Amino acid sequence: MRLRSKFEILILVLTMTISGCGNSMETTGEAENSPPDKLTIGIIQIAEDQNLEAARKGFINKLRANGYIQGQNLNIDYRNARNNQDDLQSIAQELASKKYDLILALATSSAVA
């Protein structure tokens, strides 16, 4: 198969995947963007880093702007491996074993773990 054909198939699959992620819930008279009752998020970070901290704070601020308030309808389990790869693996396994709504991995090494 030619490289271009493989690329076209990849784009098609990604487009179909993203299209399937749309919100198909019916409107019940409430605000369409009202947050759910409770959201639980795990955040894993490899190390203390100015850019990673800014990304984490920006993510939390955006959640707040969309009605998710920590301690009310939002629980965040934040873990920092302090630049220890063994700890990073343990943290990643622990977060993956829990029933979180979302896990945010800050930095490539966190996502790979």
Task: Give the rounded distance of the alpha carbon of 49 from its chain centre.
Answer: 19
Is 97 within the bounds of a domain? yes
Whether the Cβ atoms of residue 36 and residue 23 lie closer than 8 Å to each other = no
Show the domain range for 97.
Answer: 34-112
CA–CA dist 96, 93 (Å, integer): 5
Q: What is the mean pLDDT of the chain?
A: 82
Is 24 within the bounds of a domain? no
Is 22 within the bounds of a domain? no
- Is the pLDDT at 7 greater than 60? The verdict is no
Radius of gyration for the alpha carbons in the chain, expressed in angstroms and rounded: 18
Is 10 within the bounds of a domain? no
Is 64 within the bounds of a domain? yes
Is 2 within the bounds of a domain? no
Most confident of 1-15, 26-40, 89-103: 89-103
Residue 20 vs residue 88, higher pLDDT: 88
Q: Which two tokens stand for residue 2?
A: 């030619």
pTM: 0.67
- Is the pLDDT at 52 greater than 60? The verdict is yes
Number of domains in the chain: 1
Is 16 within the bounds of a domain? no
For residue 37, what are the contacts with CB-CB under 8 A and spacing of at least 6? 73
Is 49 within the bounds of a domain? yes
Q: Where are the alpha helices (DSSP H) in the chain?
A: 3-19, 50-65, 85-97, 108-112
